[in-house]
Structure 1
Amino acid sequence: MRRILPAVPVLLLLACGGGGGRSGLLEEARELKQAGHFSEALVLYREALTRDSAAYDRDAWLEYGDTALLAYGAERNRSVRQQTLEVLTALQSDSTLRGGVRLSEMWRRLAWEMIRDRDSLQAFAALESSLVSADMLQVFEEEWLFRGVYASRHLPLVAGLTDSLSMTPGGDELLRSYAERHLVELSRIPLMRTDLRGQVLLAQAFLLPFTDRRTEELEVLTELDRMGGMYPALRERRMRLLLDGASEDIRLGRSALAREKLLEVWDSNFATDRVEAALMLGVMAEESGRPEEALGWYRSACNASPGLGSPAAAEAAARRDSLLFMQT
Structure 2
Amino acid sequence: MDGIVPVYKPVGMTSADVVSKLRYLLRMRKIGHSGTLDPSVDGVLPIALGAATKAVPALMTLGKTYTGEVTFGFATETEDLDGASVARVALAAPFTDAAIDAGMQALTGRITQIPPMYSAVKVNGRRLYDYARHGETVERPVRQATIYRFDRVGAPVFDAAAGTQRVRFEAQVSKGTYIRTLAVDLGRSLGVPAVMSQLTRVASGGFTLAETLDLRPLDRETAPAAVAAVLRPIESAYPDVVQHTLTATEWAAVQVGRGLALPLDQPQVALMHAGVLKALYRREGTAYRPDVMFLANEGGPTA
TM over 0.5: no
Q: Which has the higher helix share?
A: 1
Q: Which has the higher strand share?
A: 2
With the shorter chain as reference, the TM-score category is under 0.3
Q: Tell me: higher relative CO, structure 1 or 2? Use CA pairs within 8 A at least 6 residues apart.
A: 2
